[in-house]
């Protein structure tokens, strides 16, 4: 298994799962038809342009320092029902289930647009906040003390002691082609098994998979990755459906951030995915076994 060649684009689910297990990432071939890609691209581009023009876009904490070129468009499920099918897509859900288990939530659905003239997003993992396993008698890291970019740092070689499992999965939809020229995602194969965080760039061992619009690049929470430099003349549209283990707090506050008129139009599966459904009592408001948590205005207030 260790000798498995680096991932190439495929739609074979067993191969995708093996690529994730062995290399920490996989490339899903032609997962969207071109009509869907066009519809998503059109809505996303209009939204991104509107937010930039109105100065309503905000950087992400893992962006390169001082990069005011790239753009994030957050909470996409509020910005067009065309995006909902991506979160619910069977291939995305199957890979999320493979890594996280049958129960998982949508932690974020955002777009990252790399524009010409940008800075590369530094290599990072998506679960820098996960405490390291500790041996009996060894002091544990306190989860609430961990900070982004703090380490532990090291080389992307297999650890020689226990490491934490993946807790999130990033399913990055290519809404335009992804290429080296337009700032496609950079990854370090095998880094998911190292148990450490990246420091120091550039690296010789990173890869930058290319793919056609309608494909997807998928990596698990421990894999070192970051976006590239866009030296082309066109924006690169990436759209991430970011899944998390159900007990983990989502990256975006989905329940607070979903507009009431959007909540009213959601089907039950989308509501579950966004975290409106309690999971073994977690995430409930006033009724742990309710199918969906009630918003505060509907819960019982002071009585008597």
Ligand X SMILES: O=C(O)CCC(=O)C(=O)O
Q: Which residues bind ligand X (CB under 6 A)?
A: 112, 121, 126, 170, 185, 225-227, 238, 240
Q: Are 282 and 103 in contact (CB under 8 A)?
A: no
Question: Minimum Å distance from CB 226 to ligand X?
Answer: 5
Question: Minimum Å distance from CB 233 to ligand X?
Answer: 18
Which one, 168 or 277, has the nearer CB to ligand X?
168
Which one, 32 or 251, has the nearer CB to ligand X?
251
Rounded CA-CA distance 107/130 in Å is: 15
User: Tokens standing for 48?
Assistant: 């991104």
Q: Report how far apart the first and last C-alpha atoms of the chain are (Å, whole number).
A: 66
Which one, 16 or 107, has the nearer CB to ligand X?
107
Question: Minimum Å distance from CB 115 to ligand X?
Answer: 12
What b-and-e string marks burial along 94-123, b requiring 16 or more CB atoms within 10 Å of the CB? ebbebbbeeebbbbbbbbbbbbbebbbbbb
* Stretch (H or E) spanning 220: strand 216-220
Nearest to 167 by CA among 247, 244, 249: 244
Which one, 210 or 287, has the nearer CB to ligand X?
210
Which one, 119 or 225, has the nearer CB to ligand X?
225
Question: Minimum Å distance from CB 10 to ligand X?
Answer: 20
Question: Minimum Å distance from CB 210 to ligand X?
Answer: 12
Nearest to 271 by CA among 133, 22, 87, 82: 87
Which one, 45 or 285, has the nearer CB to ligand X?
45
CB neighbour list of residue 241: distance below 8 Å, 6 or more residues apart: 86, 87, 89, 92, 106, 108, 109, 171, 173
User: Tokens standing for 50?
Assistant: 């509107």
Question: Minimum Å distance from CB 52 to ligand X?
Answer: 17
């Amino acid at each position: 298994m260790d000798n498995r060649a680096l991932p190439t684009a495929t739609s074979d689910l067993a191969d995708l799962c093996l690529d994730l297990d062995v290399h920490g990432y996989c490339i899903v071939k032609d997962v969207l038809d071109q009509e869907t890609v066009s519809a998503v691209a059109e809505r996303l581009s209009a939204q991104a342009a509107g937010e930039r023009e109105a100065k309503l876009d905000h950087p992400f904490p893992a962006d390169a320092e001082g990069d005011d070129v790239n753009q994030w468009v957050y909470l996409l499920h509020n910005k067009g029902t065309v995006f909902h099918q991506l979160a619910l897509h069977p291939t995305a859900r199957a890979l999320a289930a493979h890594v996280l288990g049958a129960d998982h939530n949508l932690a974020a659905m955002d777009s990252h647009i790399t524009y010409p003239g940008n800075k590369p997003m530094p290599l990072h993992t998506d679960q820098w906040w996960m405490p390291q396993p500790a041996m009996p008698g060894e002091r544990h890291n306190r989860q609430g003390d961990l900070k982004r970019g703090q380490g532990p740092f090291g080389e992307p070689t297999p650890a020689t002691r226990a490491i934490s499992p993946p807790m999130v999965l990033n399913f990055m939809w290519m809404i335009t082609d992804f290429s080296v020229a337009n700032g496609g995602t950079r990854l370090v194969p095998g880094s998911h098994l190292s148990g450490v965080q990246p420091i120091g760039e550039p690296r010789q061992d990173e890869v930058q998979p290319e793919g056609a619009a309608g494909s997807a690049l998928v990596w698990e929470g421990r894999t070192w990755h970051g976006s590239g430099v866009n030296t082309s003349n066109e924006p690169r549209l990436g759209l991430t459906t970011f899944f998390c283990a159900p007990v983990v707090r989502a990256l975006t506050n989905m329940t607070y951030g979903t507009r009431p008129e959007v909540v009213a139009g959601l089907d039950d599966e989308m509501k579950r995915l966004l975290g409106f459904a309690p999971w073994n009592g977690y995430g409930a408001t006033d009724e742990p076994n309710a199918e969906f948590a009630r918003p505060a205005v509907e819960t019982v207030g002071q009585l008597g």
